[in-house]
Structure 1
């Protein structure tokens, strides 16, 4: 894969966006490589958590506007944009979101446009103090935020802040992003990867099958009534309760030792 690197060690699959000369902006080649990598991580029993970061001075600058588009002859520019999302960007984001293993994003430098969506699709986002999040779509391009930004932003920071970020396109510093609840944590630049790896190691030793269900449960709750969510929790617990991880957790608790989860 030319646009990313993927290395799995000690249960952690480290995926690095590797187009530093263009701030790791997303083109068709990167989309293809990302989808291949995510599929590999899904199938690899040695990979228990996915950690995504960017090479160089930025995490991801969003779509590569200078790259050759996906427009087919006869399509308008707008139709070409929508077509590219249909066959590339959206499938990539759906496949990342559907990964049955925890996802961590270590945001180094700027995350702009679709790069914000790529960061926020992770379960846990850790950013360097020098990092920032910028919604460039509206004020710079006359578009709406995409790659899931309109889904994540209001859920994480509320409608008022989500609209202001999207309408004005101001840089949101990582420290403020953490204060607002957009991300999990902001850390010193020189400790970003050590912090991210520590979180990844903790998750890699956990019950990854349950972690995937936790993500689904939290997101499902926003569309459920309280009573509906209680039923949802009951149904999932019934499934997870039959998994060997639950019995291992119970035995470890009763014998006062650390559990050793296998999946």
Structure 2
């Protein structure tokens, strides 16, 4: 993979820094729960379709008392899109050369009163340059206080930046995180944005604040709920809800498809799947 330019290097460094901050906070929560669980990191490399080195990443997974399974992945990859897939990517129909760096996180929680969560932010370069991503809350048993807290924190991140539009990004998340064959939303939403291009500094600053907002609000929600009592029936509800989460990620999620189509690490791509799920 070619040498990174200043913008690419800055984005990569931030995503890796955010990974370290999030993982440290999640491990602290485990220690508060009396667990010594920690992230296990596995580095991986990929080769482009031509056989040339194509970058790679680090898959981080922790299985603990509070976080039944949480994955935090960072990757920086590049090369050329293979075949028709490139024509579906912003700016790649003219030239299949690409660069992508980002962080992707999914947490599935032991206590059904603690919401699962997804967060992903990324920077892509084709013939265009843009940021995308967002965060969304996925509670098996929704609690209005948590939903409101999550949305308020993301709205504050949006309101601090000119390129951000909370109402539009919230609607985008509602539209995207929807399971058509079930006719239900995957969770209680958040924000989703893509193809945020033009002013690199402004768009990068907003993307950083999305990561900071997640780091502020989600651990707070976890600590609020992680010691709540629960029943076997609520565990059954959690596991059935997880089945729907898995359906979305395997059938509709664009990030899953992007990873598989670009030769990413399969275990890292599919770390979003829950450790236990049920179907009727």
Q: TM-score, normalised by structure 1?
A: 0.31
Higher relative helix content: 1
